[in-house]
């Protein structure tokens, strides 16, 4: 073993001692004033993150409401679609990874008119293709801002403006960007934004958050959605800082503490730290001789909260020994998803990692590669990461 356990998976991410302690509070009624205060804390902190995720911490809010759900972000994704889209409505879904595909598959359940703007996973979607797909008949445009499966960040600003020109509702999945990178509701014309507790918010898994603008709320029909995801109902209960159904109280306690810790750090500082540590991962891996997986072009950039790296040819398709060598050093990273299994590995810097954790991640990957016979320059990778972190 090589030190304390280091969790570098892109979710769930490590939580602070304060979050763990908050979750150990005595149980209470979810209809009590005490719980209402907890919901209000979680709601207020999440709203801060949604609306102040710009370098200068300028408020980029538009009129709307922050909702906290008893469910992970897939629930929030479905709620966004199900409350707005009716059979026959046109939805344009951008797909260049697993979670863009998931959004399209959700839309398929509510209308038979889903147009996919699709490229191979890890490649950039040209804005011209989006512009060509969106029309005045389009009801909704769905996009994953930061594609967790590939390490690409898609151009939300461009897609949002295209959607607004056609009066379509723009739904943006910020699951692995909100809380760790720049996010602007106003400038990007976002109508519905959503995120997950277990990612850059650094809270335990099991809850998610949505920013529902007044523009989008005017178009929802809760009775058309699944009973549990009726946004009209969620909005009514949120007015009294409650959820429609029994709340996962320990998870709300953890989320409330996590978002307050983010507000204490300040989003500009948090964003700068995530950018610096992501660059350290990229510099470290490429300097030791590995190749990044994603190809960023046409306004798309590499993620600042997770890094995807191609496995060398000699171990591609069978990464069991490499992953075992990483685990032997008491570190956890993630492999590829779906058809990228055995093709790539992914590491996260979401949350609150110390710089030395990033360096340890680079060193661990280099040593594990050496163990399985891959010729890499681990020392050069460590030196490059340290230079970026200085």
**Cis peptide bond upstream of 107, omega within 30:** no
Within a domain: 25: yes
C-alpha–C-alpha distance, residues 315 and 319, integer Å? 6
Q: Greater confidence, 245 or 58? A: 245
Judged against a pLDDT cut of 80, whether residue 2 lies above it is answered with no
Residues 171 and 36 in one domain: yes
Mean pLDDT of the 56-77 span = 89
Is 56's pLDDT higher than 90? Answer: no
Check if the beta carbon of residue 214 is closer than 8 Å to that of residue 190: no
Co-location of 330 and 217 in the same domain: no
Q: Evaluate if residue 253 carries a pLDDT over 70.
A: yes
Instruction: With residue 209 as reference, give the H or E element that holds it.
Output: strand 208-213
Burial of residue 354 (CB within 10 Å: 0-12, 13-18, 19+) is exposed
Question: Is residue 223 situated within a structural domain?
Answer: yes
* Predicted pLDDT at 59: 72
Do residue 31 and residue 63 come from a single domain? yes
- Parent domain of 62: 17-265
- Residue at which a domain ends, from 265, 295, 310: 265
Q: Are 137 and 27 contained in the same domain?
A: yes
Residue 57 pLDDT greater than 70, yes or no: no
Residue listed under structure tokens 């804005």: 127
| H-run or E-run covering 193 | strand 192-196
**Nearest 5°: phi and psi at 268?**
-60, -45
Together in a domain, 28 and 91: yes
Q: What is the pLDDT of residues 157-214, one digit of tens each?
A: 999 999 999 999 999 999 999 999 999 999 999 999 999 999 999 999 999 999 999 9
Instruction: Find the CATH number of the domain harbouring 101.
Output: 3.40.640.10
Residue after which a domain boundary falls, among 265, 296, 331: 265
pLDDT number for residue 297: 86
User: What is the pLDDT averaged over residues 99-126?
Assistant: 97
85 in a domain, yes or no? Answer: yes
Q: What is d(CA 6, CA 213) in angstroms, rounded to the nearest whole number?
A: 38
- Indicate the pTM of the whole model: 0.96
| Encoded tokens for 354 | 């110390």
Tokens of 182: 């720049």
Same domain, 111 and 213: yes
> What average pLDDT score do residues 309-317 get?
97
CA distances from 377 to 21, 286, 336, 367 (A): 41, 10, 23, 9
String of b and e for 139-173 (b: at least 16 CB within 10 Å)?
A: bbbbbbbbbbbbbbbbbbbbbbbbbbebebbbbbb
In tens, the pLDDT along 291-310 reads 999 988 888 999 999 999 99
Mean pLDDT of the chain: 96
Tell whether 1 is covered by a domain. Answer: no
pLDDT of residue 384: 98
């Amino acid at each position: 073993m090589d030190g304390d356990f280091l969790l570098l998976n892109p979710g769930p991410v490590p939580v602070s001692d304060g979050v763990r302690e908050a979750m150990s509070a005595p149980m209470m009624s979810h209809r009590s004033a005490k719980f209402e205060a907890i919901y209000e804390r979680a709601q207020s902190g999440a709203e801060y993150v949604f609306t102040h995720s710009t370098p200068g911490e300028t408020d980029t809010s538009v009129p709307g409401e922050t909702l906290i759900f008893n469910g992970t972000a897939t629930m929030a994704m479905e709620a966004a679609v199900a409350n707005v889209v009716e059979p026959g409505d046109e939805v344009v879904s951008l797909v260049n990874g697993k979670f863009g595909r998931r959004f399209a598959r959700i839309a398929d359940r509510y209308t038979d008119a889903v147009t996919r703007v699709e490229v191979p996973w890890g490649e950039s979607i040209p804005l011209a293709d989006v512009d060509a797909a969106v029309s005045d008949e389009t009801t909704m445009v769905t996009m994953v801002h930061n594609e967790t499966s590939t390490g690409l960040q898609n151009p939300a600003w461009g897609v949002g403006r295209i959607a607004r020109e056609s009066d379509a509702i723009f739904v943006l999945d910020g699951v692995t960007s909100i809380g760790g990178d720049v996010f602007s509701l106003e400038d990007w014309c976002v109508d519905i934004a959503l995120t997950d507790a277990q990612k850059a918010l650094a809270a335990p898994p099991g809850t998610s958050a949505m920013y529902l603008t007044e523009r989008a709320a005017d178009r929802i029909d809760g009775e058309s959605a699944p009973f549990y995801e009726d946004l009209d109902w969620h909005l009514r209960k949120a007015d009294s800082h409650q959820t429609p159904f029994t709340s996962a109280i320990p998870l709300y306690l953890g989320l409330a503490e996590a978002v307050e810790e983010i507000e204490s750090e300040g989003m500009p500082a948090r964003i700068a730290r995530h950018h610096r540590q992501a660059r350290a991962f990229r510099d470290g891996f490429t300097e030791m001789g590995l190749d990044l997986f994603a190809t960023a072009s046409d306004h798309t950039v590499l993620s600042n909260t997770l890094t995807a790296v191609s496995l060398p040819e000699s171990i591609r398709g069978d990464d069991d020994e490499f992953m075992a060598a990483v685990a032997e050093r008491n570190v956890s990273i993630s492999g590829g998803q779906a058809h990228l299994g055995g093709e790539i590995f992914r590491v996260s810097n979401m949350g609150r990692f110390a710089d030395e954790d990033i360096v340890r991640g680079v060193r661990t990957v280099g040593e594990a590669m050496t163990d399985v016979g891959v010729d890499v320059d681990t020392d050069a990778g460590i030196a490059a990461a340290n230079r970026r972190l200085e």
